[in-house]
Structure 1
Amino acid sequence: MPATHRQRRRVLTAALVALGLTVSACADKAGGGSSETLKIGLLASLSGTYQAVGTDIRDGFQLYLSSHGNKLGGHPVQLVIADEGDGAPTAVPAANKLLKQDKVVALTGIVGGGSAAAVAPLAEQAKVPLIGSNARPELKDVTWIWHTSYLSEEPGAAIAPHIKDSVNGTVYSIGPDYQGGWDELKGFTDAYTRAGGKLANPDGKTRWTPFPATTNFTPYFAQIKASGAAAVYTFYAGGAAVDFVKQYAQSEAKDIPLYAAGFLTEGGVLNAQGPAARNIYSVLNYSPDLDNADNRTFVAGWKGNHDGSPTTYAMASYDAAAVLDRAIGAAGDKPTAQTINAAIGGLGQINSPRGTWQFSKTTHSPVQKWYLRQVRQDGRALSNTVVGDLATVGQ
């Protein structure tokens, strides 16, 4: 601390004591006046198939920062952003730079489940908390790993009982051939068959489409039609979701009801899909029309800087910033990666635009409610409208 600053501090302290006031040793932290800047690393897909998702993750975190004076826990924050790209081959070197060169005290973001699985060991080795804000597979060691979004199997598991009760017949499952797709579809097929449902797929196994190479889904729709399926369940996101939905609406399978993990019609992809997305049912942990004070604040802040409503990606990243805000504030005068990680474990219930949730003690992912949505006309635009509550999922 410079001598001039120390002198000013002593003069101020003496003046306050003379006025009969108590000077708290943590006044800087409580009042947000700490001069120690903390580096937070944000890793997201800012190029490639999931660029729109990564952009929302970045913007959701930045919205929280900007609405809180660019401070977390009273400390100024330098947000260091890196591009995850399309998966682990680009995510790993980007994460290594954030952890080893930039020396961040926490890491957040990450779009893909494969990226999350590859980056998690790096965070554990560096002993830096990873607060992921999108998909995540099951991991054996979550000591340093937290998630504000969901486990990749949970969306399908949450909607499977509803589909079993609502669909009179077999269901065809189809998705992209990579870690995120495997987990998302496994969550559905395991829960659906456990509930007594039967898959329409000829071999009883999910039909995989090459990722990210597949842009023409027409041959697969012919197979769906031939299977005699009464409904389809799928997971796609980003550009692949746009291609899938537009082509589905023009295919011979178009009259077969389509159910999906909510990412199929989430955010900007719904605008790109247009009328082709009408009536699609989806499952998600968030909708911008949820009626609670935190969501009203979040939506208003988002719309002040963006066209359209916020997505679940933006919401989960906004919540990641909120988690870090509380944890850093509880981590002492000189927060470290270790004290921040310990503080996250003691946060308890967290108020959020999605509703109140808390971290699972076993998986470090949210225990939260899931919602059934349908693409419907909302004025002049299409919207993912909540039409019912599904299960509360988490351990």
Structure 2
Amino acid sequence: MDRTISVSRRGLMAAGAGLAAGGLAMPAIAQGAPLRLGVMLPFSGTFAALGENILAAMEMYIAEKGGRLGGRQVQLIRLDDESNPANAVSNVNRLVGRDRAEALVGTVHSGVVMALVQIARERQIPLVIPNAGNASATGELCSTSIFRSSFSNWQPAYAAGLHLAKSGVKRAAWMSWDYAAGNEAGAGFRDGLRAGGAELVRSLLLPFPETNFQPLLAQIPGLNVEAVGSFYAGGGAVQFVREYAAAGLKDRFPLTGSGFLTEGTLQGQGAAAEGIKTALHYGDGLDNPKNNAFRPAFKQRTGRDADVYAVQGYDAAQILDIGLTATRGDAAADREIARAIRAARIDSPRGAFTLSTSHNPVQNMYLREVQGGENKVVGIAAEALADPGTGCRMS
């Protein structure tokens, strides 16, 4: 059983100091020694299903490579972070200290990932982020040792706004929780609208994780807008979509936004979600050779349908493999790893993508429409979209 030690939120902000003070050192590579890969994901709580799909797809890729990454046998060190920022520093200390991890993959929660980002920056330990979309990880805190296999919060929302503007919408509103992910997505939606010649009229925000949507929904008819963009996920997204339709707004003000609005939530949303268009880097029915092989293989291995989280996990392993292959398995050769990954064209189930100079995917954002309980890909909302990487000064 994984053991964690509770620390304060202030301790999380001081992650670097605590980790440095611990005197942790990376082990020398022994001839033929396995690669100690620390995988820090949620395996319990709200995001457990996301963590399990990310890990299962990673394991599938590693199995396809004969149990190796970069030519080295892989020893996976699995740690449940419980999506709890208070335990993040002690969990990272465990992985790079007692467990002597040479490379890291994690995590889902943007608050938890910051402890991983801090140690990767300070110790130049390769880190691949398989979900958390916070801008700072590939923005002002970017590093040669940090890579993302997922998205930035800005990307899918930008694509949704751009699609709206190109479809003829001139004025739109934004609804989300008032926290980092929602605000970063809101900025992307605004930028996408502007790029297409449209205007963001109003942002209607609710404190996270409150779900009293009615006062915000009541304002929409008086805003003189043609559509509404949004960023919600999980149970909040289920309730929001249902209440939006029940308020009689769905047909009057088409709802769109980041794909997480309808990703993994369609069963609970039911008919209220039908016809909603969102933007994301993966979707149902995506037809390419890699995805056509990936989906049945993942289903056979897990008994579950592949989703965007599985794709991000599979590609996290791919990214590590590319970098480590270039260094013959030397995880400490951070600059050589970074050069190889930046030069690569990654063959993904989402479609081939590259990484930007700030190490965030440059990828298609697909337009998806809910049809018969699936997020069917019906077009491309933004092709080869790169995150701005604001503040990134790669050393």
1:373 matched to 2:368: yes
Mapping of residues 1-395 of structure 1, within 5 Å: 35-86=32-83, 88-134=85-131, 135-138=133-136, 139-140=139-140, 141-201=142-202, 206-212=203-209, 214-255=210-251, 256-266=253-263, 268-307=264-303, 309-332=305-328, 335-339=329-333, 342-347=336-341, 348-360=344-356, 362-377=357-372, 382-391=373-382, 392-394=384-386
**SS, match of residue 340 in structure 2:** coil
Kept in 1, the 8 Å contact 2:144–2:338? The answer is: no
Matched residues in 2 for 1:210 and 1:177: separation?
A: 5
Counterparts in 2 of 1:375 and 1:282: CA distance versus 1, 3 Å: same
Q: Name the SS of the counterpart of 1:327 in structure 2.
A: helix
Higher relative contact order (CA 8 A, sep 6+): 2
Distance 2:173 2:46 in 1: 25
RMSD: 2.3
Q: 1:274 Cα shift? A: 2.3
- Could you report, residue by residue, the CA deviation over 1:218-276 in whole angstroms, capped at 9, with x for unpaired residues? 3322222343432110112222222222222222423321101111111x322232222
- What secondary structure, in the 3-state scheme, does the structure 1 residue paired with 2:212 have? coil
C-alpha contact (below 8 Å) 1:167/1:230 kept by paired residues: no
Superposed CA deviations along residues 145-203 of structure 1, whole A, max 9, x for unmatched, are 111112221112223222112254521101122222221111111332354322342xx
Q: Distance in 2 between matches of 1:277 and 1:78?
A: 42
Deviation at 1:88, TM superposition (A): 3.2
Taking a change above 3 Å as real, the CA distance of residues 209 and 84 of structure 1, as seen in their structure-2 partners, is farther
**Offset at residue 35 of structure 1 (A):** 4.6
Question: What secondary structure, in the 3-state scheme, does the structure 2 residue paired with 1:271 have?
Answer: helix
| Letter of the structure 1 residue corresponding to residue 151 of structure 2 | Y
Q: Which runs of 5+ in 2 are unaligned?
A: 1-30, 388-395
Shift of 1:211: 1.7
Question: Sequence identity of aligned pairs in percent?
Answer: 36
Preserved CA contact (<8 Å) 2:35 2:74? yes
State the AA in 2 paired with 1:235: F
CA deviation digits over 1:262-300, x for unaligned, max 9? 11111x322232222111101011124222221112101
Q: How many aligned positions are there?
A: 349
Find the aligned partners of 2:222 and 2:381 in 1 and give their Cα distance: 31
**Gaps in structure 1 of 5+ consecutive residues:** 1-33
- Give the distance between the partners of 1:144 and 1:87, measured in 2 at CA: 24
Q: In 2 relative to 1, CA 82–180 (structure 1 residues): closer, same or farther, beyond 3 Å?
A: farther
Q: Report the CA distance shift for 1:298/1:208 in structure 2 as closer, same or farther (over 3 A).
A: same
State how far apart, in whole Å, the 1-side matches of 2:224 and 2:84 are: 35
Q: What residue number does 1:9 align with?
A: none
Matched letter for residue 378 of structure 2: V
Secondary structure of the corresponding residue to residue 199 of structure 1: strand
Q: Distance in 1 between matches of 2:233 and 2:364?
A: 21
**One-letter amino acid matched to 1:72:** L
Per the normalisation by structure 2, the TM-score is 0.81
2:8 equivalent in structure 1: none
Shift of 1:118: 4.5
